[in-house]
Amino acid sequence: MIVVGETISHYLPIKEGYEKARTAAEKALALDPNLADANVAFAWIKATYDWDSAADASYQRALALEPGNAMVVRSAGGLAASLGRLDEALALHRRAVELDPLSAAARMNLGTYAYYAGHYDEAVAAFRNLLELNPSIPVIHHDLARVYLAQGRPQQTLEEIQQEPEPVWRLFGEVLVHHALDKKNDADAALREFVAKYSYDRAYQVASAYAFRGQTEKAFEWLHKAYARRDPGLSDIKVDPLLLSIRGDTRYSAFLKTMRLPL
């Protein structure tokens, strides 16, 4: 999950949220094209909803305007990750934490991209530091559980995900960990519940769950649903470890081309 502002809960439907964001960003840029925050907001929409390479230019403009703005730096790092440039993404997110050590979003994104890059100890440290700053923050127990899962620690994953306060992410974590623990009935039940409750705005998560389970056909079916619904989760498609099983499939590279992402 890419966090642009400090708000990381209370989601709007995808189309409604992006339309509101686009209107606000365009109005701000019309008033002052040199607002770094407005350039970042516009770039974020281009990157995660339009899948437009013009986002890179907007991020670079924002960095030139305010190179010491932590929000600008980490947002540019999010695009770098989406394009598969994880080393650059990590460097930018480490810098963002240095610039604003108390930013929840900066530490969350650092942990996320460290996890994507396989730097598990750094990811755990970032998420643990964030929980020390705010023990009740949502999503982080889910993110930490994902790291434990990647480390091959499913029992610790289960213990961690049960502490997640956000229902959608707790359930998604259960989908993954029950599969890892070879609890097929529990895994299937959790996935059915997730699809029933959350799949319209979380089609990408459904696709990634199927990929993690080795169900390739279903994974691509839901990736195409995510594309049709402009699911912003697709911005992680090049770097999300849950998709590892489908990356060698020719349909994966074709899908990247559809999204205008580098192979």
157's tokens: 């994953």
Is 0.75 topped by the overall pTM? yes
**Length of the chain measured in residues:** 263
How does the average pLDDT of the chain come out, rounded? 92
226 and 258 Cβ atoms separated by less than 8 Å: no
Q: What is the pLDDT of residues 239-259, one digit of tens each?
A: 999 999 999 999 999 999 999
* Amino acid 2: pLDDT: 40
Among 53-57, 83-87, 191-195, which is the least confidently predicted range? Answer: 53-57
Among residues 43, 37, 98, the alpha carbon closest in space to that of 65 is found at: 37
- pLDDT tops 70 at residue 7: no
pLDDT given at position 3: 40
